[in-house]
Structure 1
């Protein structure tokens, strides 16, 4: 966080740190009036594997897009605002979920944008559940007198789902001692499915495809192939118009990163060049959202319609 917030501060923007109840989050905004575009920057290395999930790629492209769009606003008379929101710890319960619940996305936001270096379809995750009873029993003396909440938690897990659906789970709590029948248990679920209530269509996706095409890079708006990745950006997409692109770094370079147990930095210079190229596209997309009433209106219409 300190590196990213310093980069933004050095560009002469006011930076707020420790925002929305997260010790390692930050936020900065530039502009006035008009519509608001938000870039989400994921970061934080993971234990043992470092940046193997390429959160540093995401952070670099989002911060660069924010700076690019802010500079464009500085040099023009266009009304509009651009915000960078640092969202750490996406791999845990989601660095966007707590800010989402704390009101980070409560403003009248025209679009929330981000880019990931994997060509995957990202869907909501972060569903939490508790199973519990009020009957506690001694496991050695009279276990039959208790209702085992740990058994209830285990029973909730099932693998009988479709190939393009995934339920990932961990147990965070399952009792206090082996001699006591657990009265409470706690599991955290990550759910991925292409049919969770509804899928959002996104005008922003198509506009990003057009912007990148103008820069000589081919993107597709939606792939028909099933993917198995997940992100808390899916949670944001149920609150407001959100678009998450996936860069072409999904090829051999990305596979090397994901497989590496000691990946500490971007596979430079290839990944950095791709990140900066895509950041230009994100900045241009943000510019279109701020300037083009048609794009902003269509994005909101897509968000409000069921597919």
Structure 2
């Protein structure tokens, strides 16, 4: 499953007067909080960060925090009655955690967070319904209220320039989404008069999504800088001619001689790195879904990888050096 990993630089301020501290102090602050306030749960340190005005719990499980990075799972409780369990042999459905109140046992949606200590950069792979990056603010606010945390999204300033005009650049694929496509496009795809399609479908509210790639797995669309630049120039020209309201999505997946393959979006204001988080493996032709501990390890490995792959792009943007 492809997901976006977003990055934030963490700034440490005095809560009283807003004085900014050196970001190198952030790892020691986090380690101190975890060691002195985290509830031991085997090898995990757990925090209950439920706001005072809420009944459903917000939790933080810290798996690693003293090995050069912090890796944690943030979760938000769901009402038990909103989820059911089913026995697929009998087809019978039943409630989960029957007989327990919400403040005793619960069901939670979760996401993962990763903070690399060399730069105090936070990475999160968001999940709908789970806590977002602000869970780190809640942690600091609860246990060290004399401090305040600011999370600043790493910008995607001219991201496409990272491959434009660069040595031996290549493009693997292109993705476009066009609103109100030209009639000839619909006719070419569907072989039907465009007016009939529009009338029988959604009038002027049609859109077409296009992914362009080679039909051969290991081949790209372009293999040299000149051809890659021509593709980028054509997409820019279409954006200028059509506007962002019509050409809603425009991105390429590519690389250069000195950078790894990744997505470059013409619109996104914030930087992200695409990661693949599989939820199952194949054994003897059957899908075997990963258990919670396996998924945790998979997310850790992917977040380690995505930070290391993005590091040389991120650090100059946020003007950060490594730990002294």
| TM above 0.5 | no
More strand by share: 2
TM-score of the superposed pair, with normalisation by structure 1 = 0.29
- From the CA coordinates, give the structure whose radius of gyration is larger: 2
TM-score of the superposed pair, with normalisation by structure 2 = 0.28
More helix by share: 1
